């Protein structure tokens, strides 16, 4: 037996413990260890049953995802998988009880399903999240789960991949008992009670019949196409569960294996596995030791309760951290609070939150028009209008009021963090915390280090991001940091393409079809076109004379068309924020084209996607070169968690590498010949294209 799996005993019950930190993944040696332990239990006449449990913080969290890359790159042959050990467990003549705490995910839940009984701690979660990696369950999860939990539940779990809590798992038949208190003791007691094994694969009563199942599969496919647009694995997972209702168990697992293999070698899966590890990689900061001290964050304060300030306050109280929320006037405060209230009411009415929880969170917000109580805060986040002078005034005030060890964070989208910090006596505690709209929803937190930001303030910010259920990405200080700096050429090219002949709807639909959550122009309307307009005016003096500038959006703002907040921007909006084409915009576009003496031309969607994405990638190569972004994967994570870039495309830099940097470089050179110096290729991109390498390789 490997040292990853041990067998001990309690009376006549064998205890099989999987101990493969950090998450007991089914790495090489673990399945073999479990199989050996089962053999020993079966052979040992003094043992009448066994309990399978995980050591540490969780049960088995799935197959070892790191092994997949080795298989798809041909480094390692795909073995026969988990089936032999699962059959060994299921065919054991002695009952095997699985004890679940933490997470039983993917292959972990499939191992649990092969056990004869499952007990769980009240906080345990079970799930088949494989589709979040662009694959489907590959160890009979799509075959045993419908037999245990019914077809509808199995489809929901396998196609959407979200975890299920212990109580729900008990209700639908996945778990047989919830164990309060000591899980191992409860599992041993349960094992002592059960008389005989019970094979999940032979429990066909919940498989239903074709007529009843048809509408379940149809509804799931429709929902998957809508909610997981562009992703193939969810649809294939539904196919596999459907196979379970039509084929024998043996035929079903063969069909599942065929689909699994097809998905595993797909670009979608490689991109989503890149995204999975990427979200973990960005938390590792070269040169910032793991043991760097972090400051306790028990109380927070926010200045400005506008679009962002309100959402930031919600992010804090959602994490249980009380917030003081300051505005300039009662009127502005009431406006900010009512937006927060509306957001919570929406969560309650959609069932995502209980009324009680909503009230509890609202009670953690202390509204104010003064800085009273700010001296108690461990962190103060500034979210006032985007203007350097105002920000510096506010930071000078905060520097006077705040406790000397409190962190001062700015939510600026573009402004120089070092200049803001220069308005204080303690720049070491100033840092950028750039949330994304809506701040209580978007997962990204771009953490902008100033040249004086201390290691403790950086480490605290990275840890705090996790606590706020955000993905913290550390970036350097420059105009627009990483996200918005790359977003600038991304949106600029979109507007140029309109000036040259495309319509706003064509632009947005081309990027939407590519997989973006929303097109670049509609996104502008959502965030507020005035934010970008203020920034362009703030930096006008830095613009290189003679270099082409996008005009239409400034024209829209000059007419007060700020987007959704004014019900008119690139589109017009009804009270329910439904987007409609606006002939007034067409008139403005024609007017600008005339001024520019541009004869509109037909533009292909391929050119639209290439120009808009490659302008971003080119700028991405520059921020990498400058060290503003630590790794290309950081840029990918920023765009997938903050800008609606599709995870099945892996992020802009991964996407470019999957197209081939040589091809991307040649296309950019082409655009440079057509459109001039705005398309000068980044030296890094040129070098990597010539060397035939990827970004982080
Ligand atoms: N394989 C390899 N490494 C893993 C891993 C896995 N399954 N899960 C986590 N890690 C690493 C992770 O990269 C990080 O490493 C460390 O563990 C801690 O993770 C046959 C084919 C379990 C909820 O999709 O959802 O089974 O950065 O920071 O926030 O059908 O990890 O420290 O070096 O995320 O407490 C299906 C994936 C696999 C679950 C814990 N299973 N994991 O969250 O810690 S496919 C999954 C998670 C499969 C079968 C198929 C989470 C977690 P490092 P962490 P956490
Ligand atoms: P907003 O106009 O919606 O809100 C700004 C609020 O600040 C207003 O309610 C105003 O009354 C208040 N305010 C102004 N001066 C103040 C002061 N001295 N003390 C307290 N409150 C004051 O703007 P917003 O969109 O929330 O942007 C706020 C900041 O967040 C800006 O720096 C912006 O660049 C940044 N940001 C915006 C977005 C976005 O999508 N809107 C995204 C990320 C970052």
How many whole angstroms separate alpha carbon 318 and alpha carbon 326?
18
Question: Which ligand ends up closest to the CA of 310?
Answer: 2
First to last CA, the chain: 37
**DSSP letters along 189-236, please?**
HHHHH--S---GGG--GGG--HHHHHHHHHHHHHHHHHHTTT-SHHHH
Report yes or no: 409 and 380 within 8 Å, Cβ to Cβ. yes
- Contact present, 76 and 264 (Cβ < 8 Å): no
Nearest CA to ligand 2 atom 12: 304
**What is the distance between the alpha carbons of residues 166 and 182, in angstroms, rounded to a whole number?**
15
Q: If you ran DSSP here, which 8-state letter would residue 18 be given?
A: E
Match 């930001």 to its residue by tokens: 453
With a Cβ cut-off of 6 Å, ligand 1 is lined by 22-23, 25, 61-66, 82, 103, 105-107, 110, 129-130, 133, 135, 137-139, 141, 277, 280
Q: Which of 116, 110, 140 is nearest to 248 (CA)?
A: 140
CB proximity list for 224: less than 8 A, separation 6 or greater: 159, 160, 231, 234, 235, 238
Q: Is the pLDDT of residue 2 over 90?
A: no
Instruction: Indicate the DSSP class of residue 647.
Output: G
Could you tell me if the CB of 394 is within 6 A of ligand 2? Answer: yes
The pick from 412, 531, 532 for probing ligand 2's pocket by mutation, whose C-beta has the most ligand atoms within 8 angstroms, reads: 531
pLDDT beyond 80 at 123: yes
Contact 559, 588 (CB under 8 A): yes
pLDDT in tens, 405-438: 999 999 999 999 999 999 999 999 999 999 998 9
Q: 180: CA distance to ligand 1 center in Å?
A: 26
Residue found by looking up tokens 């309690």 in the block: 10
Task: Tell me the pLDDT tens digit for each residue of 180-227.
Answer: 999 999 999 999 999 999 999 999 999 999 899 999 999 999 999 999
Ligand 2: distance of its center to the CA of 125 in Å?
39
Atom of ligand 1 nearest to the CA of 82: 20
Task: State both tokens at 461.
Answer: 């910010």
Q: How far apart, in whole angstroms, are the C-alpha atoms of residue 526 and residue 332? A: 20
Does 1 score more than 90 pLDDT?
no
Looking from the CA of residue 303, the nearest atom of ligand 2 is 20
Categorize the per-residue pLDDT at 81 as very low, low, confident or very high, splitting at 50, 70 and 90: confident
Task: State whether the beta carbon of 437 lies less than 6 angstroms from ligand 2.
Answer: yes
Q: Is the pTM of this model over 0.85?
A: yes
CA of 540 to the centre of ligand 2 (A): 21
Give per-residue pLDDT as tens, 485-513.
999 999 999 999 999 999 999 999 999 99
Atom 15 of ligand 2, nearest CA residue: 384
Cα 376 to Cα 65, 294, 380, 398, distances in angstroms: 44, 18, 10, 12
CA of 412 to the centre of ligand 2 (A): 8
Verify cis geometry, omega within 30 degrees of 0, for the bond prior to 539.
no
Render pLDDT for 19-49 as a digit per residue (tens, 0 to 9). Answer: 999 999 999 999 999 999 999 999 999 999 9
pLDDT band per the 50, 70, 90 thresholds, residue 696: confident
Least-confidence region, from 144-153, 249-258, 461-470, 529-538? 529-538
CB 386 less than 6 A from any atom of ligand 2? yes
| Per-residue confidence band for 541, with pLDDT thresholds at 50, 70 and 90 | confident
pLDDT digits (tens, 9 = 90+) for 288-346: 999 999 999 999 999 999 999 999 999 999 999 999 999 999 999 999 999 999 999 99
Determine phi and psi for 19, rounding to 5 degrees. Answer: -135, 85
pLDDT of residue 510: 98
C-alpha 383 to ligand 2 mean position (Å): 5
Residue 335 vs residues 332, 340, 589: alpha-carbon distances, Å: 5, 9, 34
Q: What is the pLDDT of residue 694?
A: 92
Atom 12, ligand 1: residue with shortest CA distance: 280
Q: Which of 385, 376, 362, 398 is nearest to 305 (CA)?
A: 385
Look at the chain and count its residues: 697
531 CA from centroid of ligand 2 (Å): 9
Q: How far is the CA of 61 from the centre of ligand 1 (A)?
A: 6
Structure confidence at residue 406 (pLDDT): 98
Nearest CA to ligand 2 atom 14: 384
pLDDT of res. 78: 61
pLDDT band, residue 697 (cuts 50/70/90): low
> Residue 193: how many CB atoms within 10 A of its CB?
12
Q: Specify the ligand 1 atom closest to the Cα of 466.
A: 29
Q: Count helices and strands (H / E) in the chain.
A: 29, 19
Q: Give CA angle at 453 (406, 448), nearest 5°.
A: 100
Pairing status of strand 49-54 against strand 13-18: parallel
Q: How many CB atoms lie within 10 A of CB 436?
A: 24
How far apart (Å, rounded) are the C-alpha atoms in residues 192 and 348? 44
pLDDT at 545: 84
User: Hey, which residues are catalytic here?
Assistant: 110, 130
**Beta-strand pair 407-410/379-382:** parallel
> Whose alpha carbon is nearest atom 4 of ligand 2?
306
Cα–ligand 2 centroid distance for 393 (angstroms): 14
Nearest ligand, measured from the Cα of 533 = 2
Q: Which ligand sits nearest to residue 412's alpha carbon?
A: 2
Is residue 94 pLDDT above 90, yes or no? yes
Residue 373 CB neighbour total at 10 angstroms: 15
Pocket test residue of 4, 22, 67, 109 for ligand 1, highest count of atoms within 8 A of CB: 22
Q: Residue with the nearest Cα to atom 28 of ligand 1?
A: 280
CB of 383 sitting under 6 A from ligand 2: yes
pLDDT of residue 538: 76
Distance CA 311, CA 440 (A): 5
* Pairing mode of beta strands 13-18, 5-10: antiparallel
333 lines ligand 2 (CB under 6 A): no
């Amino acid at each position: 037996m490997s040292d990853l799996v041990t067998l001990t005993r309690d009376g006549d019950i064998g205890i099989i413990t999987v101990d493969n930190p950090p998450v007991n993944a089914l790495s090489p040696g673990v399945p073999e260890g479990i199989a050996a332990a089962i053999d020993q239990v079966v052979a040992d006449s003094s043992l009448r049953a066994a309990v399978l449990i995980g050591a540490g913080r969780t049960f088995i969290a799935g197959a070892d995802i790191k092994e997949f890359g080795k298989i798809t790159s041909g480094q390692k042959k795909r073995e026969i998988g988990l089936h032999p050990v699962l059959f060994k467990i299921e065919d054991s003549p002695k009952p095997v009880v699985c004890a679940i705490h933490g997470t039983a995910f993917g292959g972990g839940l499939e191992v649990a399903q092969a056990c004869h009984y499952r007990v769980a701690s009240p906080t345990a979660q079970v799930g088949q999240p494989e589709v979040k990696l662009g694959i489907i369950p590959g160890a009979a999860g799509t075959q045993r789960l419908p037999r245990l939990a019914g077809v509808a539940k199995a489809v929901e779990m396998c196609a959407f991949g979200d975890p299920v809590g212990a109580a729900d798992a008990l209700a639908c038949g996945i778990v047989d008992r919830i164990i309060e208190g000591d899980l191992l003791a409860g599992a041993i007691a349960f094992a002592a009670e059960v008389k005989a094994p019970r094979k999940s694969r032979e429990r066909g009563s919940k498989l239903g019949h074709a007529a009843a199942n048809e509408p379940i599969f149809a509804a799931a496919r429709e929902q998957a196409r809508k909610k997981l647009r562009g992703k193939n694995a969810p649809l294939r997972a539904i196919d596999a569960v459907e196979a379970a209702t039509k084929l024998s168990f043996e035929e079903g697992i063969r069909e599942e294996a065929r689909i699994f293999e097809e998905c595993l070698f797909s670009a979608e899966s490689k991109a989503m596995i890149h995204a999975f590890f990427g979200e973990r990689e960005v938390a590792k900061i070269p040169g910032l030791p793991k043991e760097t001290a972090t400051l306790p964050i028990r109380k927070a304060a926010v200045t400005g309760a506008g679009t962002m300030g309100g959402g930031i306050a919600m992010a804090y109280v959602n994490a249980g951290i009380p917030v003081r929320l300051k505005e300039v006037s009662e009127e502005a405060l009431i406006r900010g609070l009512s937006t927060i209230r509306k957001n919570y009411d929406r969560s309650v009415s959609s069932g995502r939150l209980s009324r009680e929880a909503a009230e509890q969170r609202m009670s953690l917000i202390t509204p104010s028009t003064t800085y009273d109580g700010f001296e108690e805060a461990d962190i103060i986040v500034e979210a006032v209008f985007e203007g350097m002078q105002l920000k510096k005034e506010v930071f000078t005030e905060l520097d006077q009021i705040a406790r000397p060890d409190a962190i001062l964070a700015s939510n600026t989208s573009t402004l120089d963090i070092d200049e803001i910090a220069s308005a204080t006596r303690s720049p070491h505690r100033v840092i950028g915390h750039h949330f994304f709209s809506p701040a209580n929803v978007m997962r990204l937190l771009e953490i902008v280090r100033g040249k004086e930001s201390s290691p403790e303030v950086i480490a605290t910010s990275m840890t705090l991001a996790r606590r706020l259920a955000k993905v913290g990405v550390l970036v350097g200080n420059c105009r627009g940091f990483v996200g918005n700096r790359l977003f600038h050429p991304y949106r600029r090219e979109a507007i140029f393409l309109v000036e040259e002949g495309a319509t706003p709807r064509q632009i947005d639909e081309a990027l939407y079809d590519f997989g973006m959550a929303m097109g670049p122009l509609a996104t502008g309307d959502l965030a507020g076109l005035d934010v970008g307009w203020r920034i362009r005016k703030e930096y006008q003096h830095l613009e290189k004379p003679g270099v082409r500038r996008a005009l239409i959006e400034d024209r829209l703002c000059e007419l007060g068309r700020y987007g959704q907040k004014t019900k008119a921007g690139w589109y017009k909006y009804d009270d329910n924020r439904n987007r409609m084409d606006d002939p007034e915009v067409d008139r403005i576009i024609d007017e600008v084209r005339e001024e520019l003496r541009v004869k509109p031309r037909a533009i292909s969607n391929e050119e639209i996607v290439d120009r808009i994405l490659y302008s971003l990638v080119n700028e991405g190569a520059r921020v990498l070169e400058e060290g503003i972004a630590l790794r290309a994967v950081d840029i990918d994570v920023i765009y997938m968690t903050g800008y609606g870039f599709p995870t099945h495309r892996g992020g802009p830099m991964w996407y470019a590498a999957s197209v081939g940097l040589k091809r991307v470089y040649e296309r950019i050179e082409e655009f440079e010949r057509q459109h001039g110096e705005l398309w000068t290729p980044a030296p890094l991109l040129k070098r990597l294209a010539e060397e035939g390498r990827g970004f982080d390789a």
